[in-house]
Structure 1
Amino acid sequence: MSTRTTGGSMASGRARGPSSGRSAGDATDEGAPTWVGASGASEVLLGEFVEDLARAAAGAALDPSSLLGYTAQGRTAADNGVPLTAVVDLYLTAARRAWHDLPVVRDAADITQLRSIGGEVLGAVDDAVAAVCEGYSQSRPKAARVEEALRREFVDDLLVGTSDPASLIERAPSLGLRLDGTHVVLVVQGSRRFVDGRAVVRDLEASLLARAAAHPDEPDLLVATKNGQLVCVLPVPDATVGHRLDPIVAQIVARLSQEVTLHWRLAVSRPRSGATGVQVCFEEARAALEMSQRLGLEEPVVRAEDLLVYQVLARDREPLRELLRTVLLPLERARGGAAPLLQTLRIYLGTGGIAVHTAHQMHLSVRAVTYRLKRIRQLTGRDPADPEDRYVLETAMRGALVLGWPARPL
């Protein structure tokens, strides 16, 4: 739209505002809200637009103060989140409805006079809408910054647990999230930090939100970054945890796999309810990432429920160290140290106690495996083939993985 300058420059003059003693942020006389959401805008944003059209039809172009007032209305609309399309539609609809009621239109003598009046009115509409759009574009970057700051504050409060749960539940719908149900949190750790604005973060957020929009029966999700990690808060009704979770995990994995130079691992928490549950899920997923790294797991996707036994062992380190000193420390007396025998024990127990399979995985002969199992029995006094001894050895072996022994001293 062009901005006509008939009657003066938009940049000069004292803004009188296009409303009659009432700011654009006030409610209407009937108590209705100023904003009616994404589907439209309140008529309070029009100010004296209809009156200005009547003056324009009579030959008086919009003066600078009127144009500045419409610019202010555009800023107000942007600051309050009213879509620009809704604001423009409001002005054009008001102009169309007002046309037949303009006194000079009713009293026009002929078609030539109507054409002249129409030109003046359309010019005023053009100027007013252009001023509104200018104000909207001026304020939108500021509004976007405010919106992003509020979003970041909400994400921090939600994941760290520094805010009252009731406040979080109240703020969540503005971000398309509901916290009154059950959620799972996915956390991705990469060899490069995940930060807002990076292509992989933008792509994942856009694709996940597009998927959510395509399934209106499913609740919305939240994608964010925190401390260099990618976080997805996913509502999952109890009866459909796997049904909704698995496709989203697969979608994230597919996108991350396109980053050929990025090494990553994704952790999935167990489902929990409420705002506090989201914070617990976040910490659980992060702990699962840390534990999987400590255990040297090769799987790119880990589930917290699969690592519970290690988390339990890690909670009380001193009794765990005592268990290792009592059960496994004697393995250090073997030629070559404890590491080869501990690796043999881990694979042997993982194969269900089958020496042939253990030998195949370790690229050793069966005789070499049985010799190592014999040495384990001699040094520890416990037989891996005995159910009771096997339980003690396996518990100690898992504890060794948690503590990083024998690479790290007890």
Structure 2
Amino acid sequence: MAISELPADLLKGHGQRLASHAATGRLPDREALDAYRAAGARAAELGLSLRALVDAALAGGEEVPGVLPVLRRVVSALMEGYEGAQLAAIRSEESARREFVDDLLQGRAERLAERAEHFGLRLAESYVVTVARGLRTGHPAQPDRIEPARDRIEPGLDRIERDQDRIERDLIARFGSHNVLVAMRDGLLVCVAPATLPAAVGEFTHHVRARFPPGWRVGVGRAHRGPGGVVASYREAAQALELADGLRLKIDVVKAADLLVFPVLLRDRSAIEDLVNSVLSPLLEARGGHEPLLETLEAIFASHGNQTAAARRLGVSPRAVTYRLERIRRLTGFSPDDPTQRFTLETAVLGARLLGWPAGE
């Protein structure tokens, strides 16, 4: 923007003031500097460039000798006002963004669609929510607190803020600011993206893998339509992380679509508790404890019944696996070699992991 395009009254009287200061040798007083700060703030609110503003201030002193000390203070005041107005605008935007994300993920629908357009979301579409756990903790987690992944023009940014900021920047660089929304909620880094952009999930996971310390895990919700769909997808993604922990899954990325059977199992908690206790309680009397036997069953199921592969998973000999399976058959009366009994055993083991059986583990 050229100097001539600035509003004529923005620096009105600036040249005369510089000449007066040069003649008297006095520096600008507080009132004068406050007026320059106000001019800087107004320039920011009008969307004028800081470069054009400073250029105009310097140009006013070109014909006035001996005003360098005055100009330094004037330019400093202009920039202070300009940057202060920008920071206030960013903070206001962050506050609105925090409130919007909070309302969106909790399903509070007041003016949600209207506000979503401001952040580039078209809530009539289907969205997928992906969450990541394990971000570096630069400060204690604060439940129910939203921290949008944006710039902070403040010193002392800790690692967690820089990481989430960089992840959002990289996603926006690839998919555009009107296609993704990244925020922190309940200790999880949350990414909301249209279902028509499946690559966004992979890109988000890539950046999590690169920036999170070991132990991170990503949960992916299913695609759902509308504001309520975003809430549903978020809850599915968060629940997928909980189920993965309960089931002791070794995978880093868990999809709610792959775990649909487990919420079904837990809907009738009394039934699954009865199954677990009826089938697996005899293992509690095993010498050496029940855990090695449960781990052997999990390895057998994961290896599709192949005892050699299960032994490799467990780091024991195939003979040890055979011995453990025989003990399980003798204690419970169930064998994974029998198709019907295998299903009962596998369901019971999964239920035990989901329930944290036996109690206290």
Q: TM-score range by the shorter chain?
A: 0.7 to 0.9
Q: CA deviation at 1:253?
A: 0.5
What corresponds to 2:129 in structure 1? Answer: 184
| Residues 272 and 77 of structure 1, relative CA distance in 2, 3 Å threshold | farther
Instruction: Give the C-alpha shift of residue 283 in structure 1.
Output: 2.2
Per-residue deviation, residues 207-243 of structure 1 (Å, max 9, x unmatched)? 4423422x3568432222223x2423231343x41x3
* Structure 2 unmatched ranges of 5 or more: 22-27, 148-156
Number of aligned residues: 335
Is 1:209 the equivalent of 2:175? no
SS in 2 for 1:119: coil
Identify if the C-alpha distance between structure 1 residues 189 and 310 changes in structure 2 by more than 3 Å, giving closer, same or farther.
Answer: farther
Is 1:46 the equivalent of 2:7? yes
Question: Does the 8 A contact of 2:179 with 2:194 survive in 1?
Answer: no
What's the CA shift for 1:394?
1.0
Cα distance between partner residues in 1 of 2:177 and 2:96? 25
Whether contact under 8 Å (2:171, 2:200) holds in the other structure is: no
- Counterpart of 1:148? 94
- The residue identity in structure 1 corresponding to 2:194 is V
Q: Which residue of the partner structure matches residue 103 of structure 1?
A: none
Q: TM-score, normalised by structure 2?
A: 0.73
The alignment status of 1:75 with 2:45, answered yes or no, reads no
Between 1:330-339 and 1:345-354, the stretch displaced more is 330-339
Partner of 1:31: none
What is the match of residue 303 of structure 1? 255
Is 1:232 aligned to 2:190, yes or no? yes
Amino acid in the other structure paired with 1:171: R
Are residues 88 and 385 of structure 1, via their aligned partners in 2, closer, same or farther at CA, if it must alter by over 3 Å?
A: same
Structure 1 residue 77, shift from structure 2 partner: 4.9
**Distance in 1 between the 2:246 and 2:98 partners?**
30
Q: Does 1:324 align with 2:284?
A: no
Shift of 1:402: 0.5
Cα gap change, 1:389/1:48 in structure 2, threshold over 3 Å: closer, same or farther? same
User: What amino acid is the match of 1:136?
Assistant: Y
Which position in structure 2 is the counterpart of 1:247?
Answer: 203
Q: How many Å apart are 1:322 and its aligned residue?
A: 0.9
Asked if 1:158 corresponds to 2:108, the answer is no
Aligned to 1:199: 159
Q: Which runs of 5+ in 1 are unaligned?
A: 1-38, 97-116
- Single out whichever of 245-254 and 326-335 deviates more from structure 2: 326-335
Equivalent residue letter for 1:205: D
Q: Tell me if the contact between 2:132 and 2:216 (Cα under 8 Å) persists in the aligned partners.
A: no
CA distance in 1, matches of 2:317, 2:54: 85
Change (3 A) 1:133 1:350: closer
Q: For each residue in 1:255-283, what CA deviation from the matched residue of structure 2 results, as whole angstroms up to 9, or x when unmatched?
A: 224xxxx6432322222233332222222
Question: Following the alignment from structure 1 to structure 2, what is the Cα–Cα distance between the partners of residues 358 and 118?
Answer: 83
In the alignment, which residue of structure 2 is the partner of 1:272? 224
CA distance in 1, matches of 2:136, 2:78: 47
Which protein is bigger by CA-based radius of gyration?
1
Counterpart of 1:101 in structure 2 is: none
Identity of aligned residues (%): 36
Contact 2:175 2:200 in 1 (8 A): no
CA apart distance, 1:190: 4.6
Counterpart of 1:119, as a letter, is: E
Cα shift readout 1:39-97 (whole Å, capped 9, x = no counterpart): 99xx8x836359758x96xx999x9989866643433454x4x54x437648979xx9x
Range 397-406 or range 290-299, more displaced: 290-299
2:336 alignment partner, SS class: coil
Distance change >3 Å, CA 379–CA 67, structure 1 → 2: closer
Q: Is contact 1:266–1:302 with CA below 8 Å preserved after alignment?
A: yes
Change in 2 beyond 3 A, CA 1:71/1:143: same
Check conservation: 1:194, 1:225, Cα contact below 8 A: no
Q: Let me know the Cα RMSD of the aligned residues.
A: 4.3
Q: 1:339 to 1:157 in 2, by over 3 A?
A: same
* The 10-residue stretch of structure 1 (392-401 or 280-289) with the greater mean CA deviation from structure 2: 280-289
User: Helix, strand or coil for the counterpart of 2:212?
Assistant: helix
Letter in 1 for 2:182: V
